[in-house]
């Protein structure tokens, strides 16, 4: 089944032509409405007229998360304020979040992209979608919510947390699809199996994203709940979940090329690499009204395949992500930068920001432990004072990251100092 | 008088206690009494030693978090209820005892305590007839080496 067959199965020529036409219009719009890009283009000696089609994409400047931060909160918005219909935000590399904006049309494109994915997962009007992503500024909850509503399905806006209640309502309401992070899906699956409720739930599909996972994890999830599971990809800067998703053939994630032009770049030279070669994914949002971005560097490492898929769709497929070019971590679906931990520790007077983050996965849930060195000046020989200091640090970390961490005090100088950049993160998860 | 306790932060790692003891032994710092408190992640080693300043310096040189803590040390006779009597006096005066440990000292016992008000504790206990140890009573002379 397809949601929008004419678009999803366009020939490569038609698709390139459409992308080129949309890119030309986008450049014109952005040049006149976003001073940041206009200056950038002028410095490069570029005029809107220089971009005549898809082949000219490489002439355009890149955009990074820093650009969004430098223009916080609405500096890159290309429409008058009254046309902004929604705002979302995700973690920034330091204190301030990365803010994104949507017009009514942007939200409708987003909904359609998600609806295409849900249809690809075999879902339709008669389905009930249990959305266990967090609702709020995070794009996961509302993204899947709007997409499922657009599809015409019944939406169950559960949000995250309270596993026991999730399972009871999933069963009572007869949910046929589950949308959440893969680790939370595994956690729910284990709880369902443990409670012996597998025969009582009606789930047939799970749409999981917002954090990296493996084929092995998907197989386990599918077997545990007797369902089909799909990988959905997205990032708030581009839109949110639904930028790409895999089909039942699981040969990569179809990226909706009529809205997003993908490029794979050599992370060192930033030159495009050939099909099948691994590099950093950059995306140009040709239809976005509120926040159109040229060649946004996602920092996600992947490769791309342009051949037509067995499912009949022609939109290119990006491979499962193999890492990042920056130090961002995704922990329990939340983007975390080590620099946020450092900034949080600076708020605690008694602590010097010497720390080491250890991310692990116990069962199916991510754990974060942060070792902080005991410094001479705040060292007390009273255990209760050290414990209250530990709790204080845990509190500021939770405030800064939005997720809980276990803080462990360690001896001075026990955290390894390396030459140059300190090693701040150990990720033990096998992904 | 207030005496100085050597306190050391110890991570729960195999052999850390041994390292501390070796550093002190190598520098002829004798341990008169000790107590080791533990949590799931770390331990706190508290000691009466023959030369607390030297002990701290040597441990710091070896990158341990070590500090000197002011504590009160009293003699308690080997008689039923004698420690309780001392505690009663502190409680009546509104002085908290944060932690305490004891060691045998000749024909009597000695109790080391961290108090919320060490000067006040010394005054009350002295008036109450308890022997409050001086530094020389606690930091015993250097004894033979193993």
> What is the C-alpha separation between A40 and A232, in angstroms, rounded?
33
What is the per-residue pLDDT for A23?
A: 98
Closest CB from B11, B41, B98 relative to A382: B98
What is the per-residue pLDDT for B141?
A: 45
Report, as an integer, the average pLDDT of B51-66.
92
Residue A324: pLDDT above 90? no
> CA B110, B111, B115 angle in degrees (round to 5)?
150
What is the per-residue pLDDT for A373?
A: 82
Set out the domains of chain A in order of their start, with CATH numbers: 70-248+281-294 (3.40.50.12780), 331-427 (3.30.300.30)
The answer to whether residues A291 and A269 touch, using CB atoms and an 8 Å cutoff, is no
Contact A416/B at CB under 8 A? no
How distant is the Cα of A5 from the closest Cα of chain B, in angstroms? 58
> What is the C-alpha separation between A65 and A166, in angstroms, rounded?
35
* Residues within 8 A of B (CB atoms), A 349-408 only: 374-376, 379, 381-384, 386-387, 408
Q: How confident is the model at residue A118 (pLDDT cuts 50, 70, 90)?
A: very high
Report, as an integer, the average pLDDT of B106-123.
91
Set out the domains of chain B in order of their start, with CATH numbers: 3-69 (3.30.2130.10), 71-138 (3.30.2130.10)
What is the per-residue pLDDT for A326?
A: 85
Strands of A74-176, DSSP E: 86-90, 98-102, 128-131, 154-157
Q: How confident is the model at residue A136 (pLDDT cuts 50, 70, 90)?
A: very high
Residue A196 three-state SS? coil
Contact B103/A at CB under 8 A? no
How distant is the Cα of A373 from the closest Cα of chain B, in angstroms? 10
Q: How confident is the model at residue B142 (pLDDT cuts 50, 70, 90)?
A: very low
Residue A202 three-state SS? coil
CA dihedral for A106, A109, A115, A121, sign (positive or negative): negative
> What is the C-alpha separation between A105 and A78, in angstroms, rounded?
13
Give how far Cα B58 sits from Cα of A295, B45, B110, Å. Answer: 58, 15, 27
ipTM: 0.78
Assigned token pair, A317: 């497929």
Poorest-pLDDT segment among A246-250, A273-277, A413-417, B92-96: A413-417
* Residues within 8 A of B (CB atoms), A 145-204 only: none
With both helix axes pointing from N to C terminus, report the angle between A139-151 and A104-120 in degrees, rounded to the nearest 10: 70
Assigned token pair, A11: 């020939």
Contact list in A for residue B65 (CB cut-off 8 A) is 374-376, 379, 411-412
Residue A364: pLDDT above 80? no
Contact list in B for residue A414 (CB cut-off 8 A) is 11, 63
Contact A410/B at CB under 8 A? yes
Q: Cβ B42–A409 below 8 Å, yes or no?
A: yes
Assigned token pair, B35: 């107590």
Which residue pairs, CB below 8 angstroms and at least 24 apart, start in A86-89?
A86/A142, A87/A137, A88/A137, A88/A138, A88/A139, A88/A142, A88/A236, A88/A240, A89/A137, A89/A236
> What is the C-alpha separation between B16 and A311, in angstroms, rounded?
61
Mean of per-residue pLDDT scores for chain A: 92
Element at A147 (helix H, strand E): helix A139-151
Q: Cβ A383–B39 below 8 Å, yes or no?
A: yes
Q: Cβ B11–A414 below 8 Å, yes or no?
A: yes
Assigned token pair, A314: 């022609």
Q: Give the best-scoring range by mean pLDDT among A45-59, A83-97, A322-336, A348-362.
A: A45-59
Percent of chain A with pLDDT over 70: 97
Contact A411/B at CB under 8 A? yes
Best CA proximity match to A357, nearest among A366, A365, A348, A346 = A366
């Amino acid at each position: 089944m397809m949601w929008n067959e004419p678009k999803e199965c366009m020939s490569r020529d038609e698709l390139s032509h459409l992308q080129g036409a949309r890119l030309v219009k986008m450049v014109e719009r952005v040049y006149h409405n976003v001073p940041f890009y206009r200056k950038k283009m002028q410095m490069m000696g570029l005029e809107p007229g220089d971009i005549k089609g898809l082949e000219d994409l490489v002439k355009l400047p890149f955009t990074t998360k820093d650009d969004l931060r430098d223009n916080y909160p609405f500096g890159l918005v290309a429409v008058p304020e009254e046309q902004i219909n929604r705002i979302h935000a995700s973690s920034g590399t330091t204190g301030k979040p990365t803010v994104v904006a949507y017009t009514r049309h942007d939200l409708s494109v987003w909904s359609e992209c998600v609806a295409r994915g849900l249809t690809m997962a075999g879902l339709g009007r008669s389905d009930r979608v249990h959305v266990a992503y967090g609702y709020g500024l995070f794009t996961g909850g509302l993204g899947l919510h709007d997409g499922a509503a657009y599809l015409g399905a019944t939406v169950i806006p559960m949000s995250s947390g309270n596993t026991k209640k999730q399972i009871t309502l999933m069963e009572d309401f007869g949910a046929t699809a589950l949308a959440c992070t893969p680790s939370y899906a595994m956690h729910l699956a284990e709880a369902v199996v443990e409670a012996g409720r597998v025969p009582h739930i009606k789930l047939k599909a799970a749409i999981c994203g917002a954090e990296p996972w493996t084929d092995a994890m998907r197989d386990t999830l599918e077997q545990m709940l007797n369902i089909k599971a799909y990988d959905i990809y997205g990032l708030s800067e581009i839109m949110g979940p639904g930028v790409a998703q895999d089909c039942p053939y699981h040969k990569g994630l179809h990226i909706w090329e009529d809205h997003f032009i993908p490029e794979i770049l050599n992370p060192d030279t930033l030159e495009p690499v050939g099909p099948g070669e691994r590099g950093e994914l950059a995306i140009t949002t040709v239809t976005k009204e509120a926040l159109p971005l040229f060649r946004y560097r996602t920092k996600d490492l992947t490769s791309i395949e342009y051949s037509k898929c067995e499912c009949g769709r022609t939109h290119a497929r990006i491979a499962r992500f193999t890492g990042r070019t920056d130090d961002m971590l995704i922990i329990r679906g939340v983007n975390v930068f080590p620099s946020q931990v450092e900034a949080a520790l600076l708020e605690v007077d008694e602590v010097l920001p010497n720390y080491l983050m250890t991310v692990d996965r116990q069962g199916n849930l991510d754990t974060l432990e942060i070792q902080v060195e005991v410094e001479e000046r705040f060292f007390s020989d009273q255990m209760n004072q050290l414990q209250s200091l530990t709790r204080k640090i845990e509190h500021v970390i939770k405030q800064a990251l939005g997720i809980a961490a276990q803080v462990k005090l360690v001896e001075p100088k026990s955290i390894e100092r390396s030459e140059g950049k300190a090693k701040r993160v150990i990720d033990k998860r096998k992904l | 008088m207030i005496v100085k306790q050597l306190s050391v932060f110890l991570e729960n790692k195999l052999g850390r206690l041994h390292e501390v003891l070796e550093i002190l032994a190598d520098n002829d710092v004798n341990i008169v009494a000790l107590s080791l408190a533990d949590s799931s992640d770390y331990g706190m080693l508290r000691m009466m030693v023959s030369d607390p300043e030297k002990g701290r310096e040597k441990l710091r040189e070896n990158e341990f978090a070590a500090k000197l803590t002011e504590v009160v040390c009293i003699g308690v006779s080997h008689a039923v209820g004698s420690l309780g009597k001392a505690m009663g006096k502190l409680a009546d005066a509104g002085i908290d005892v944060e932690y305490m440990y004891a060691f045998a000292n000749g024909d009597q016992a000695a109790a080391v305590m961290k108090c919320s008000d060490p000067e006040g504790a010394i005054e009350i206990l002295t008036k109450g007839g308890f022997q409050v140890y001086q530094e020389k009573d606690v930091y015993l002379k250097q004894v033979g080496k193993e």
